[in-house]
Structure 1
Amino acid sequence: MKNQFTKILSIILPLLLGFFLIIYTYNKFTPQQLAELKSHFKNADYTYIFISLGIALTGYVSRAYRWRYTLGHMGYHSPFATNFFAVCIAYFMNMTIPRSGEVSRALLLKKYSNVPFDKALGTIISERIVDLILLVLVLAGTIILQFSVLKDYLIKNIPFEKLVFYSAVAVIFFIASILFFMYSKIRWVQKLKIKVSGLTEGALSVFKMRNKWPFLLHSIYIWVSYVLMFYVTIYALPQTSDISFGVISTAFVIGSLAITFTNSGFGIYPYAIASVLALYGISATVGTAFGWIVWASQIGLIILLGSLSFLLLPLLHKNK
């Protein structure tokens, strides 16, 4: 009962937050700003959006192809088409319940390719760990590239004394958390250590694969495709077409985090993108329109591919 309640909250709370941010954002706009917002949607050059979706599709293909390496390392094989449809369905499922897509991928491979559920899930977890490492690297690179802007923003909006205090508290909390995790004998901490150890072993097993370099190259390309498809969309609006790569990387990272920690980033993604672009002098109406165009196009692609995959996967395996 408790787990079911937690699952329901994980779905409802992000949606409620999304609705709140939508209402909050649009209530701030004047009638003139709302008219500007509509004109941005109407006059956007959607050719670049379709190019972005084409790039996104290559990322899906690369992710499906990459999966064969981890499966092969464990002695299993699954046809590329099955992997691709499973990946598309996973993206679709993650729009409803966060992280449910990983479970659905493993279940689909068990049903259609006779790969044991735990083995398939293990390969997916190892992929996710590598993806998380790459996300952290992108985040670190963005902070380095935009350090001066972020520093100026913090200094401008948070008094120096408070900034020092918050930084000191964060460092102390970080060190205390590590020490607590390392030396605590509490039962749930011990269980967490076992899980972390298993995840670490899964991540390191990637480097022991025979085809580790193709796997890593696909992993890098998947993140390059993410950045590239976001980059192309800036040309859809004249007001965003000349922003620098540093701005793009910052908006990309914040948008990625918004989607990662919610079910699809509904309402949250456009708000986060508009907030980031506002730091660089982009108006709220432009930032909001841009955020919604990017989000809606990507979600539309996920719904399309996911729906088609639900229909085509059983047809591909009629004997099952």
Structure 2
Amino acid sequence: MKKAIKKWGKTLGPMALGIFFIWYSLSKFTSEELDQLWFNIKNVDLIWVILSLTMGILSHLSRSYRWKYLLEPVHIVPKFYNCFLSLMLGYLANLGIPRSGEVLRGATLASYENVKFEKTFGTIITERLVDLIMLLSIVGLTSLSQSDKIFSFFKSQNINPFFGGLLIVTMILLLFIGFRIIKYSKLPLFQKLKNFIEELFNGMKSVFLMKNKVYFLFHTFVIWGLYVGMFYVLKHAFPETQDLGLQATLVAFIFGAFAMTVTNGGIGLYPIAIGIAFNAFGVPTETGEAFGWVMWGTQTGLVIVLGGLSFLLLPLLNRR
């Protein structure tokens, strides 16, 4: 009973938090500001929205192709469409249960390619670590010139960067201690965990063993360039954001990235974070949040459509 409650709590907790943020986002506006918010959303320039959406699709395709390079050193040569459809299925799962998509993505590819799940999942962990380095690099470069605005966002959301860093260090130490216990234990359960972890690390080491490191790095920069580009082109869809520079775009991008980690796919909190970011550059809050709703809505809609199609296409394309 307790396990079931805990499981549902992990699933419904972030979703409930997202619904709260949707209510909070709309409740703080006056009727005139709400009218302006809906006006901005309804009158958005669709050409720029479509261009932003296209860049989102290209980023997913590039990520799928990059994954193939990580899989080669562990002797997995998957079909490209299986990589892409597994990826989109994972993104769809993350909208319901945070972080479940990585497991489903690895399990789906392992199932259709008839390979070990531990190896596919290990490469996904490696991929996430590379992406974390890219995000932290963007945060670091942006912080050099926009530190006051970034820290004001942390303050507004009651986030303490010091405690966040301390929590990460503590988790790393606990993982290290846990690995040492599993490594030297003779218990059958721990021996199975040891074998599972070894397979994971074999997958994670693929980034150092791959032959096409240059192409892997190329796709990494393409993916993150497209992520930032989606923001930059969409700013042209709103008159109040057209004149914003790259720095403002990067700050909003960072705020949105942090919001995505708090609720399922950033639901509710994402537009608030974008509104705060753009407001720091003189953009009205209702315009900034309209930008956030359009960005979140189009990209989430894309994941829902492509993820839903993946359910249908994967069995059809792998009938044999």
What is the TM-score of this pair, normalised by structure 2? 0.84
Question: Which residue of 2 is the match for residue 163 of structure 1?
Answer: none
Which region of structure 1 is more displaced relative to structure 2, 255-264 or 296-305? 255-264
Question: Which residue of 1 is the match for residue 232 of structure 2?
Answer: 231
Deviation (angstroms), 1:259: 1.1
Please list, as runs of the form range in 1=range in 2, the aligned pairs for 1:308-319 lying within 5 A after superposition.
Answer: 308-319=309-320
1:260 aligned onto 2:261: yes
Change (3 A) 1:27 1:178: closer
Please list, as runs of the form range in 1=range in 2, the aligned pairs for 1:10-21 lying within 5 A after superposition.
Answer: 10-21=10-21
CA distance in structure 1 between the aligned counterparts of 2:76 and 2:172, rounded to whole angstroms: 36
CA distance in structure 2 between the aligned counterparts of 1:258 and 1:56, rounded to whole angstroms: 18
Amino acid in structure 2 at the alignment position of 1:251: A
**Is the partner of 2:98 in helix, strand or coil?**
coil
Identity %: 39
After superposition, give the CA deviation of every residue in 1:200-244 in whole Å (9 maximum; x if it has no partner): 886564133222221121112111111111111111111111112
1:295 aligned onto 2:296: yes
Residues 48, 234 of structure 2: 8 Å contact kept: yes
Change (3 A) 1:285 1:69: same
Change (3 A) 1:3 1:228: farther
Please list, as runs of the form range in 1=range in 2, the aligned pairs for 1:38-77 lying within 5 A after superposition.
Answer: 38-77=38-77
Residues 74, 202 of structure 2: 8 Å contact kept: no
CA distance in structure 2 between the aligned counterparts of 1:177 and 1:294, rounded to whole angstroms: 29
Question: Which residue of 2 is the match for residue 244 of structure 1?
Answer: 245
Question: Which residue of 2 is the match for residue 190 of structure 1?
Answer: 177
CA distance in structure 2 between the aligned counterparts of 1:83 and 1:257, rounded to whole angstroms: 26
Change (3 A) 1:5 1:43: same
What are structure 2's unaligned runs of at least 5 residues? 183-196
Question: Which residue of 2 is the match for residue 161 of structure 1?
Answer: none
> What is the number of residues matched between the two proteins?
301
Residues 97, 263 of structure 1: 8 Å contact kept: yes
Question: Which residue of 1 is the match for residue 219 of structure 2?
Answer: 218
CA distance in structure 1 between the aligned counterparts of 2:36 and 2:55, rounded to whole angstroms: 29
Change (3 A) 1:16 1:234: same
Which region of structure 1 is more displaced relative to structure 2, 137-146 or 292-301? 137-146
Deviation (angstroms), 1:178: 5.3
CA distance in structure 1 between the aligned counterparts of 2:3 and 2:72, rounded to whole angstroms: 34
CA distance in structure 2 between the aligned counterparts of 1:283 and 1:140, rounded to whole angstroms: 27
Deviation (angstroms), 1:2: 5.2
Amino acid in structure 2 at the alignment position of 1:42: K
Amino acid in structure 2 at the alignment position of 1:221: V
Residues 11, 98 of structure 2: 8 Å contact kept: yes
Question: Which residue of 2 is the match for residue 285 of structure 1?
Answer: 286
Deviation (angstroms), 1:284: 1.4
Change (3 A) 1:177 1:269: closer
Amino acid in structure 1 at the alignment position of 2:313: L
**Is the partner of 1:239 in helix, strand or coil?**
helix
Residues 251, 276 of structure 1: 8 Å contact kept: yes
CA distance in structure 1 between the aligned counterparts of 2:168 and 2:63, rounded to whole angstroms: 34
What is the TM-score of this pair, normalised by structure 1? 0.84
After superposition, give the CA deviation of every residue in 1:108-134 in whole Å (9 maximum; x if it has no partner): 112211121111111111111111111
Change (3 A) 1:135 1:176: closer
Deviation (angstroms), 1:312: 1.0
